Chain A
Amino acid sequence: MDFTWLDKPLEFSTVLNMIIGAVIVLAFILGVVTYTIYFERKVIGWMQWRIGPNRVGPLGLLQSIADVLKLLIKEDIVPAKADRTVFLIAPIIAFFPSFMVLAVIPFTATHVFTAASNVGVVYYIALSALTIIGVVLGGWASNNKYSLIGGMRSAAQMISYEVPLAMSMLGVVLMAGSLNLVKIVEAQQEFPYVWYVVPQLLGFIIFIISAVAELNRTPFDLPEAESELVAGYFTEYSGFRFAFYMLAEYVYVFAMSALGTTLYFGGWSGPFLPGWLWFAIKVSCFIFFFFWVRATMPRIRTDQLLSFAWKVLIPLALLNLVGTAVVKALF
């Protein structure tokens, strides 16, 4: 079923469909995120000779739900010297784009709930950049020195890494000849039947490094470097505003994994199993990779981080882009 909302007239039934679709995706993602957090704590626990959460519910399965409930019923504290309005809306600004990017991710071959936008890649990059504003505003409005430094670090880091991230994605776009994520998946199912991770290996490596940096995860978790900046930009946040930041972070983990799957691992495509299961397996592998790196690596330093992005990743990404373009033009 080809279900693209963008080209339909704005009628009552379409709007209703959109809202229902959005709510279902939202609920689905919330469930996924809840268990992503559980999965992270379990996986890292096992890697560190611990057992992870095991108290709330069987095998600790309800732990994340309990945590979220606790955050929701906590008092919403606003520091006296904070810039009140900005402080209140910053988490929401950071959180909204994280859900909006999911609109273009093709979970399965049939687009029941997501949009097969013709500019999917650009849409993703553009919206995910908006989160930085929320982060910087949160850091600034808290009126806390740690938050400020954390916010500034985030801005520098996310802006720097967005460039190689986007450029590595362009290699795939060139190969598929489309910015549409669905077309990109379909292109990987055609001749020569290989996922783009093979021809775009360099691009994929750049993508995964930039993705980790973009997600503020270890070894690039400087903005919230606990040992230096307490909690970085959300030091002053508590309760559900803090939950919004955390939620945004984990939704991005899922979104970035889904994007990586779509661009480099053929999205839902795969033999025997149904498409959504392939997609879930591939995304889980990505998520596992992020957690694995977190359990292994120490944190990189700010100046090293930026010079790495500008001196190593961006030239490599450019090389990859030009190389892909030349090969594409020749054959």
Chain B
Amino acid sequence: MAEIRTEELLMNIGPQHPSTHGVLRVVVKVDGEIIKEAEPVVGYLHRGTEKLAEDLQYTQIIPYTDRMDYLSSMVNNHAIVTAVEHAMDLEVPERAEHLRVIVVELNRLMSHLVFLGTYLLDLGAMSPFLYAFANRERVVDYFNRLCGARLTYNYMRVGGVKWDAPDGWIEDVKTFVPHMRKELDMLHDLVTGNEIFLNRVKGIGVYDTDYALSLGLSGINLRCTGFNWDLRKNKPYSIYDRFDFDVIVGQNGDCFDRYMCHMKEIVESLKIVEQALEQIPDGPVMGKVPKILRVPAGEYYHAIEGTRGELGVYIVSEGKDKPYRLKFRRPSFINLQVLPDLLRGQTMSNLIAILGAVDIVLGEVDA
């Protein structure tokens, strides 16, 4: 019998593709359905945030950070304001710190819910997406009441937060915590035990701690390998050292562990929110800060635990009201590096499972 002639197929997954979560393009060479080579192509959503920041005063940079990781704008706000406060040695009032922690953790929860919904949607299950978004919607409404925006909050300022919580807000959020716990149980019932789901994610996209560290992965992508590293615990910033919560780590470093880490982190975030809501004191929400913020000349790096990993802000200042250079360490961008290695030898269906579990946000990848 003559040899069957086969050809490799070059496919562009994206930039307009339902499962790349934005405008990511992955150029894959497939042999049948087996991926021989995959190369992510980024930059379709590049807006030059860092360059723009060089022409902006520090307060003016905050709304630009909203648009980086647009699923967790509060976290991005927190990164830039804590970095400037750290550099200028500013005090933040207690109430503002608590409000910040509440909104950041709620935002982390929201982002994880989006992960859950879209990941399951990628794997072909429709319903979890709508359940996740229905719950997310409640948090969106809380944020709307707090700062008037549903996605790009622009809520934090250097030295505090822009608005105090409106009347009844704290009480309403308190009712959300038990509600969300119940909903999570339902989602676990629906998704986590599903045989088809387990077959699709268990043992897929495995890497170990050494590999993760060598690529500079952080956040859940690092913790899923069993490495305990969470900046909220390891290098406490803000008031995280006052709260009792666990760092969630996985074991195998596969897609299932990444999924479970997301689910469990929602519980931990709820714990922090609950404690912060109990402890929140009265008082001002804005500290004493100079009218014009001038970071003293020098170089500063401050990082927080973002939703997707270590979200760092590197400020080079010449002592003016604008940074000389501002660099964001964007975890999505760095986490995306695992893609070519993980995808080699996988099938097309696994591509979606692996890409989804890395949990990137294209706004942050391209900034």
Interface residues of B in 162-206 (CB under 8 A from A): 190-191, 194, 196-197, 199-200
A residues in contact with B349, CB < 8 Å: 222, 225, 228, 299, 301-302
- Whole-angstrom CA separation of A227 from B118 in the bound complex: 10
Render A298-309 as a binary contact track against B, CB cut-off 8 A, 1 for contact: 111111100000
9 A–B pairs (Cβ distance < 8 Å), ordered by A: A222-B349, A295-B126, A295-B127, A298-B123, A299-B125, A299-B349, A300-B200, A301-B347, A302-B349
Chain A residues within an 8 Å CB radius of B292: none
Partner of B134, one of A49, A218, A219, A298: A49
Q: B130–A227 contact, CB under 8 A?
A: no
Taking Cβ atoms with an 8 Å cutoff, the residues of B that contact A are 9, 11, 17-19, 33, 120-127, 130-131, 134, 190-191, 194, 196-197, 199-200, 347-352
Cβ contact of A299, chosen from B11, B124, B350, cutoff 8 A: B124
Q: By the criterion CB–CB under 8 Å, are B126 and A145 in contact?
A: no
- Is A149's beta carbon under 8 Å from chain B? yes
Interface residue A297 (Cβ < 8 Å from any Cβ of B): yes
A145, B130: Cβ atoms closer than 8 Å: no
B123 touches A44 (CB 8 A): no
Known pairs A219-B124, A229-B348, A297-B196 / 4 extra A-B pairs, C-beta < 8 Å: A218-B124, A225-B124, A227-B18, A228-B348
List the B side residues contacting A48 at CB < 8 Å.
126-127, 130-131
Select which of B130, B196, B350, B352 is within 8 A of A300 by beta carbon: B196
CB within 8 A of B199: which of A47, A295, A300?
A: A300
A219 CA / B11 CA spacing, docked (Å): 25
**Which residue of B11, B131, B350, B352 contacts A227 across the interface (Cβ within 8 Å)?**
B352
Residues of A within 8 Å of B, CB-based: how many? 29
Given A227-B121, A228-B19, A299 contacting B196 (CB threshold 8 A): yes
Chain B residues within an 8 Å CB radius of A303: 347
Residues of B within 8 A of A222 (CB): 349
- Using Cβ atoms and an 8 Å threshold, which residues of chain A touch B199? 300-301, 304
A227: chain B residues at CB < 8 Å are 18-19, 121-124, 352
- Specify which chain B residues have a CB less than 8 angstroms from the CB of A230 in the assembled complex: 17-18
Closest to A304 in B: B199
Chain A residues with CB under 8 A of B194: 297-298
Instruction: Tell me, rounded to whole Å, the shortest Cβ–Cβ distance linking A170 to chain B.
Output: 28
Instruction: Give A33 to B352 CA distance when docked, in angstroms.
Output: 32
Cα distance A299–B127 in the bound complex, in angstroms: 12
B180 to chain A, nearest CB (A): 15
List residues of chain A with CB within 8 A of the CB of B120: 298
Across the interface, A297 reaches (CB within 8 A) one of B122, B124, B134, namely B124
Is A226 at the interface (CB under 8 A from chain B)?
A: yes
CA distance A44 to B18 in the complex (A): 21
A125 vs B351: C-alpha distance when bound (angstroms): 35
How long is the Cα–Cα vector from A14 to B115 in the complex, in angstroms? 62
Cα–Cα distance between A212 and B352 once the two chains are bound (Å):
23
Residue in contact with B123 in the complex, picked from A145, A296, A299, CB distance below 8 Å: A299
Contacting pair B347 A219 (CB below 8 A): no
Which chain A residues (1-47) contact chain B, with CB distance < 8 Å?
44, 47
In the bound complex, residues from chain B placing their C-beta under 8 Å from that of A183 are none
CA distance in complex: A25, B338 (Å)? 56
| Closest chain A CB from B16 CB (angstroms) | 9
